[in-house]
């Protein structure tokens, strides 16, 4: 989507993006399951309903302990993750206001391909040129595809979400959203905490539980996250190379 030539005209920039479309599609299929699944969250949550009031949330949380323990989660990690966590009553209202479903697709595309976003993409391509070259060599992934995803998902890390991911996923799981889907994502989030890549306070994301600068769901983090900056942690929140 982005070109390294500073004076490239807008039309030429779009031509570059079009030439790279097959790569974008391959990457979207292979590495962007997180974004796709997050969109599926939006579509499915139209029928979201919180479990009946007589269903104890604390009992629900405790029911997660046996499967969590079976995964190797310690009681200390489990208790730290759920400390002070309650269901989020605002979740439905947030879902109802998602721009993907209240604006025509062309308005969203116009925003996605704004002059400002393309300009920012060029700047990021220059700033991280060495890292992107190494990434292409190691993974065989086109740098412009990665830049496009990074820009689309969070505006190059500017808007990564501030929601407590454990709370979001616990709310969805408590509501029995799409069967066990949210529950499995919640257990995957506990795996991430157990691995020590991030603390409960740092495990922040979107209303749907998508995390970091590339908006991975916990299952996608487990499948694809890497420690690309070599600091011993997979940090897609604050480390651009890892993201």
Query: How is the chain split into domains, by residue range?
Result: 10-224
Q: Please tell me the total number of residues recorded for the chain in this structure.
A: 243
CB atoms within 10 A of CB 100: 10
Helices 75-82/165-174 angle, 10° precision: 90
CA distance 85 to 68: 17
Residues of the chain whose pLDDT is less than 50?
1-51, 53-54, 95-96
pLDDT value of position 105: 64
The CA-based angle 118-102-45, given to 5 degrees, is 110
Q: How far is CA 188 from the centre of its chain?
A: 13
Per-residue pLDDT, 176: 83
Q: What is the pLDDT of residues 31-62, one digit of tens each?
A: 444 444 444 444 444 444 444 544 689 999 99
Neighbours of 226 (CB within 10 A): 13
**CB distance 45 to 177 below 8 Å:** yes
Query: Coil, strand or helix: which one is 204?
Result: strand
pLDDT of residue 17: 41
Instruction: Give the pLDDT of residue 193.
Output: 98
**Catalytic residue numbers, as ranges:** 153
81 Cβ contact partners less than 8 Å away, ≥ 6 residues apart: 166, 189, 190, 193, 200
Give the C-alpha separation, 64 to 69, whole Å.
Answer: 9
Read off the pLDDT of residues 214-238 as tens digits, 9 standing for 90 and up: 999 999 999 999 999 999 999 999 9
The two tokens of residue 144 are 């412009």
Query: Which is nearest to 146 in space by CA: 50, 58, 236?
Result: 236
Distances (CA, A) of 155 to 119, 149, 160, 241: 11, 9, 9, 16
């Amino acid at each position: 989507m982005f070109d390294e030539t500073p004076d490239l005209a807008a039309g030429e920039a779009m031509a570059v993006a079009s030439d790279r479309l097959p790569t974008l599609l391959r990457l979207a299929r292979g590495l962007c399951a997180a974004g796709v699944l997050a969109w599926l969250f939006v579509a499915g949550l139209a029928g979201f309903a919180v479990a009946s009031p007589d269903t104890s949330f604390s009992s629900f949380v405790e029911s997660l302990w046996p499967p969590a323990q079976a995964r190797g989660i310690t009681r200390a990690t489990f208790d730290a993750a759920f400390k002070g966590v309650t269901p989020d009553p605002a979740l439905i209202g947030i879902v109802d206001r998602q721009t993907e479903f209240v604006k025509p697709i062309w308005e969203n595309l116009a925003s996605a391909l704004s002059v400002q976003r393309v300009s920012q993409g060029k700047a990021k391509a220059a700033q991280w040129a060495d890292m992107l070259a190494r990434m292409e060599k190691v993974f065989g992934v086109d740098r412009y595809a990665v830049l496009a995803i990074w820009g689309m998902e969070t505006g190059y890390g500017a808007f990564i979400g501030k929601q407590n991911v454990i709370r979001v996923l616990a709310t969805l799981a408590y509501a029995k959203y799409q069967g066990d889907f949210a529950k499995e994502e919640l257990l995957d989030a506990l795996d991430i905490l157990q691995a020590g890549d991030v603390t409960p306070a740092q495990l922040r994301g979107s209303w749907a539980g998508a995390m970091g600068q590339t908006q991975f769901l916990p299952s996608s983090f487990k499948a694809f996250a890497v420690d690309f900056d070599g600091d011993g942690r997979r940090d897609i929140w604050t480390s651009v190379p890892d993201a």
